[in-house]
Every structure is written in C-alpha cells, then in structure tokens.
Amino acid sequence: MTELLSVAQMRAAEAEAMRSGAATGLQLMERAGRGAVAAMLEEWPDLVAGRWRAVVLCGPGNNGGDGYVVARRLADRGWAVEVLALGDPARLGGDAAKMRALWTGPVAGLDEAGAGPRPGLLVDALFGTGLTRPLPWEAITAMRAVRDRAAGQPGERCRVLAIDCPSGLNCDTGRVDLPPSGDDAPEDAEARSHSAIGILSADLTVTFHAPKRGHYLEAGPGLCQRLRVVDIGLEPSEAPSPVEPPASGRVRLVGARSCAADLSGDLWPGQLLRPGAGDHKYRRGHVLVVSGGVGRGGAARLAARTALRIGAGLVTIGCPPAALQENAARLDAVMLRPLRDAAALEALLSDPRISGLVLGPGAGVGARTREMVGVALAARRGTVLDADALTSFAEAPEELFAQLHPGCVLTPHDGEFARLFPDLARRDRQTSRVDAALAAAARAGAVVLLKGVDTVIASPEGRAAVHVAAYGRSAPWLGTAGAGDVLSGMIAGLLAPGASAPQVAAEAAAWLHVEAARRFGPGLIAEDLPEILPAVFRDLGL
C-alpha cells in the first residue's frame, strides 16, 4: 500500500541516504532530473523521436538544480533548450550550483519568457518542496508568458512538466500560497487565484521516491493532473499493511489495486467483505439505523439498504411510530421497529445482537437527536454518527466528545466539521486536512472521516489515511443527494460483524463508495450505489 510522505519525511529519507553513504546529494539530483526526463518520454512517446524545443524555468533552490539536469539531458537528446532562471544563478549554492555549472548553454532571466518560438515542452523547475513563502508573482507571469507563446499558433499546445510539484503547491497541505498581488494580476482575489492556478497547472508531475501528501490533498490533484513517481535509489520504507490501522505519523493512501502485491492475490478490501464458512446472519452483525419522522425517512432507508448490501446479516430501521406506515411500504428485507424516544432506543439496545448503529441521516437537529445519540453511545456498539447527529451538537461539541468511545466513526463534511471543530477548520498555511482530522480525532476520542474529494480518515491514536477520488479514480457524479447517507450505511455494515477496526472499516467504505460510483458512471443517484455493490464485489473476485 502506498505511503504519502510529508516534506520532513522526504528530507529525512534523503539525509539518511547521504549519511549512510548510499548516495551523494549530487547523485540524487542527477537521478531526479534523469528520471523526470525518462518518465516524461514514457508519458509522451511522441516526443521520443525528433528535436523539440523546451523552455526550462529554474528556481533558486534544489528544484532549480533538478531543472539544470533536465535541461542538459534534453539538450543531449538534440533538443533546443532555453533555460530561464529566477534570481541570479550565480547565487545558487550546493548541488544546484554544481548542476548549473554543468549546463553549458546560456541562462536568461524570467523576463525573457515571452520571447521566442512556441516550445513543445515547458519544464517547471522553479520551486519544489522547499517553498515556504508565497510564490513570487514573477514565477506566475513567466509561466503564462511561455504558455502564451503558443497562443494563436497552429499545432499542439505546449505541454507542461512539473518537477516534483507544480511551483506554488505546498507539498504538505496541497494548497497554493499565492502572492497578494502583482502588476498584471486581476484585482479580485478569487479571480487572481483562479487565473494563477490555471497558469500553474501541469500536464504531468514527476515526483521522487514517494508521493507527498500535497499531491493528493486539496488543490494538489488538480494542479498535478497526472502524477508519476520516480525511484532515485532511496531506501524504501516498509509498506503499511492494508488491514491494520496505519502506524502513527504515517499516512497511507487508500487504494485496492496497490494492495495486490501485499496480499498475494487476496485483494483488499475483499477480505473484509467475504463471509467465513459457516457464518450465519447474526455472525455478520445486526445494524440499527435510527430514522427521522414522517416524510424524512429516505436517508435512513438509504443507509439501511446499503448496510444490508455490504454484508450486515440483519438491518433494522427504528422510526417514530407515526412514520411506521410509510417505512413499511418501502421496506422488505430491512426490518422495522417503532422508536418513540430515547427510552425506546435504550430498550431496543438491550438486545446485545445489535452490533452496529447509524444515527444522523434525516434525524433532525435538536434535543431528541442529542438524547438518542447519548443512549446509543452508552450502549458502546460500533456507531456511525453523521449529518444531524453531528450538527445537533454544534452548540456544545464537548458534550458529544465526552460520550464518544473508540468504536465510533464520525463522518462530517467540511461544513459539519467546522461546526464541531471550528478552531481546527480555520487552518493556518502549514496545517493540512490530515493534521486537522488527526487533531479532531484526538479531541473526539473517535475515528473522524472528513469527507471530500480528498477524504481523510484519522484515528485518536494518530493514525491517518487518505482516499482521493482523482488521478484516474474521479467520480464527480458522487456529489448527489443521499450519497453521504449511503457512506454511513457502508461503514456501519462493515463495522457490525465486529471484525474490523473502525478506522479500517471507514477506509474500506470510502474506497467502495467511490468504486461503486465509478462502476455505475454518469447519471448516478444515491439509490444506485447499494444496487451496484454486487458488481463491485464480483470485480473484487468475491
């Protein structure tokens, strides 16, 4: 399974290689530049033959050093290469200065970026993992000027290769730190950001050793577009297990295909889903979904049907007596029980076979939901709290936190997260979604699944995983009413048999949710998600 490194972890891996004598910094830089060219040519085989023109923009640090290697390697292939440097290249230090010295062609300033014929390739080697301040506006202006050389000309547009990351991307957070203004910047901040992101986006990003968190979080996937990882001979870290929660301080990328090698054919998340020989319905868990009142039962029905589809042995909806008739008309395999109030829930939970709970979808915001949540948490079953079960505690989140236990999973979207953790939602420039979710999980004492295109799953013990619906796994049609209710049902259905840690159940659910949406495709509505699960399971070889 893939690990997402922080910038500090990457630096430590590099430092260790140099300390142990495995490689010098110069060797690593040469491998990085050579690897970037090789990956680029693999990506665009039409560039292998012929003499193309490249513009290489080199920055003031080691990312610029990689750029000088790329320039030399392309020139060695017979390409026409223009190198433009940000700042005075004579002030480069260390390995970057040595690579600059090995580049025998001219080096111009960024202000010349607009002059010259249309290039086939723009190489962005301005800033990599070391950018700690806002990107200088002249970097954006230069990128635009090179792109504009192709404007109005026939033929293919200029392709953009980003070295390590598109310049400006914070490799820990996935956000872009833009300069406040610039001579030719749009006045309006949003327009400025939109226009800058468009200019900075790459067609291909080549990073080294391992992907970084920022490649997968927030604006990262949109900026990188396609991501390739090149081996530069650093010691690989031990692959995290896909079925155990990841180790503290390490962030794993949730993905089924990447587990194939780890499990000799027994694909994750298949092994969480396959019933054992001789299993009966009670061994596969009993999920209770607490429903809202009359006319508000759809969300609970979606969660319930999904819990059943994903493998829970039994599923019951508990609803206010007035809503029994409407629910009865819509349910078959899902059972139905009246649930007038918190006392009735307490009575129902005296059945120890109820092993999984979902509260929140369509529940309504207020005291009744708060009381129900209190009773549910006191029963200490695998519990998923979503939507109204979270918002009901917006005024006093600490009341909720005091009752949570390690068997719980909270599934907020960004808005719900901000209601429960307002301070953590206001992130400073160095704090990522992963950091925020980890801090929230530690405070809550429960697993937090922070929903988004970049979903983060974090546990109170400091374990984190990221699932990203991008890079060939995008599922834009998942943004549809009821999709979140389905996710709650998935987690509860996976938790109910009691065999999976809440963190692992949440990770598997995040993956299956997107997989189901992708299997169905455009036109998806929430009802389709549980119905397509059998096809997803067949694809997993179950």
Contacting residues toward ligand NPW, per CB under 6 A: 10-11, 14, 28-29, 32, 59-66, 127-134, 136, 163-164, 208, 232
Q: Cα(374)–Cα(393) distance, rounded to whole angstroms?
A: 11
- Residue 206 as a binder of K ion (CB under 5 A): the answer is no
Query: Residues within the annotated binding site for (6S)-NADPHX?
Result: 62-66, 128-134, 164, 299, 362, 413, 485
- Identify whether the C-beta of residue 359 lies closer than 8 Å to the C-beta of residue 373: yes
Nearest to ligand NPW of 128, 166 (CB atom): 128
Residue 167 contacts which entry, K ion, ligand NPW, none (Cβ below 5-8 A, type-dependent): K ion
The H-assigned helical ranges of 235-297 are 270-273
- Residue 66 as a binder of K ion (CB under 5 A): the answer is no
Give the interface segment with K ion, choosing from 119-127, 147-155, 210-218, 226-234 (CB under 5 A): 119-127
- Residue 170 as a binder of K ion (CB under 5 A): the answer is no
3-state secondary structure of 253: strand
- Residue 383 as a binder of K ion (CB under 5 A): the answer is no
The DSSP letter of residue 212 is: B
3-state secondary structure of 513: helix
What residues have CB less than 8 Å from 344, skipping those under 6 apart? 318, 338
3-state secondary structure of 21: coil
* Minimum separation from the CB atom of position 165 to K ion (A): 5
Residue 537 contacts which entry, ligand NPW, K ion, none (Cβ below 5-8 A, type-dependent): none
Nearest to ligand NPW of 95, 435 (CB atom): 95
Q: Which amino acid is at 56?
A: V
Nearest in space to 212 (alpha carbons), one of 506, 468, 533: 468
Nearest to ligand NPW of 179, 452 (CB atom): 179
Side-chain-side CA neighbours of residue 184 (13 Å):
10
Nearest to ligand NPW of 132, 325 (CB atom): 132
Residue 9 contacts which entry, ligand NPW, K ion, none (Cβ below 5-8 A, type-dependent): none
Nearest to K ion of 204, 504 (CB atom): 204
- Residue 167 as a binder of K ion (CB under 5 A): the answer is yes
Nearest to ligand NPW of 131, 251 (CB atom): 131
Nearest to ligand NPW of 130, 452 (CB atom): 130
Choose, by CB under 5 A, the member of 30, 124, 386, 454 that binds K ion: 124
Query: Residues within the annotated binding site?
Result: 62-66, 124, 128-134, 164, 167, 299, 362, 413, 451-455, 484-485
Residue 203 contacts which entry, ligand NPW, K ion, none (Cβ below 5-8 A, type-dependent): none
Residue 124 contacts which entry, K ion, ligand NPW, none (Cβ below 5-8 A, type-dependent): K ion
Q: Cα(446)–Cα(425) distance, rounded to whole angstroms?
A: 17
3-state secondary structure of 383: strand
Q: Which amino acid is at 317?
A: I
Find how far residue 517's CA is from the centre of its chain: 16
Nearest to ligand NPW of 27, 225 (CB atom): 27
3-state secondary structure of 344: helix
Residue 129 contacts which entry, ligand NPW, K ion, none (Cβ below 5-8 A, type-dependent): ligand NPW
Query: Residues within the annotated binding site for AMP?
Result: 451-455, 484
Residue 455 contacts which entry, ligand NPW, K ion, none (Cβ below 5-8 A, type-dependent): none
Q: Cα(252)–Cα(258) distance, rounded to whole angstroms?
A: 11
Tokens in use for 34? 């050579």
Sign, Cα dihedral of 529, 530, 531, 536: positive
* Minimum separation from the CB atom of position 130 to ligand NPW (A): 2
3-state secondary structure of 123: strand
Query: Residues within the annotated binding site for K(+)?
Result: 63, 124, 167
256, 481, 504 from 515: Cα distances, Å: 10, 17, 16
* Minimum separation from the CB atom of position 204 to ligand NPW (A): 15
Tokens in use for 357? 């709970």
Residue 422 contacts which entry, ligand NPW, K ion, none (Cβ below 5-8 A, type-dependent): none
Q: Which amino acid is at 512?
A: L
Choose, by CB under 5 A, the member of 56, 163, 400, 437 that binds K ion: 163
- Residue 160 as a binder of K ion (CB under 5 A): the answer is no
Q: DSSP for 34-61?
A: HHHHHHHHHH-GGGTSS--EEEEEE-SS
* Minimum separation from the CB atom of position 218 to ligand NPW (A): 18
- Residue 58 as a binder of K ion (CB under 5 A): the answer is no
Q: Cα(366)–Cα(368) distance, rounded to whole angstroms?
A: 6
Residue 10 contacts which entry, K ion, ligand NPW, none (Cβ below 5-8 A, type-dependent): ligand NPW
What's the residue count for the chain? 542
Q: What is the 3-state secondary structure (H, E, C) of 303-354?
A: HHHHHHHHCCCEEEEEECHHHHHHHHCCCCCCEEEECCCHHHHHHHCCCCCE
- Residue 205 as a binder of K ion (CB under 5 A): the answer is no
Nearest to ligand NPW of 138, 326 (CB atom): 138
* Minimum separation from the CB atom of position 57 to K ion (A): 8
Nearest to K ion of 70, 253 (CB atom): 70
Residue 66 contacts which entry, ligand NPW, K ion, none (Cβ below 5-8 A, type-dependent): ligand NPW
Nearest to ligand NPW of 59, 292 (CB atom): 59
* Minimum separation from the CB atom of position 453 to ligand NPW (A): 24
Q: Cα(118)–Cα(52) distance, rounded to whole angstroms?
A: 10
Q: DSSP for 437-499?
A: HHHHHHHHTSEEEE-SSEEEEE-TTS-EEEEES-TT---GGG-STTHHHHHHHHHHHHHTTS-
Give the interface segment with K ion, choosing from 158-166, 344-352, 398-406, 526-534 (CB under 5 A): 158-166
Tokens in use for 19? 């300390």
Position of tokens 């974090």? 458
Residue 316 contacts which entry, ligand NPW, K ion, none (Cβ below 5-8 A, type-dependent): none
- Identify whether the C-beta of residue 291 lies closer than 8 Å to the C-beta of residue 319: yes
Q: How many residues bind K ion (CB under 5 A)?
A: 4
For K ion, the binding residues (CB under 5 A) are 124, 162-163, 167
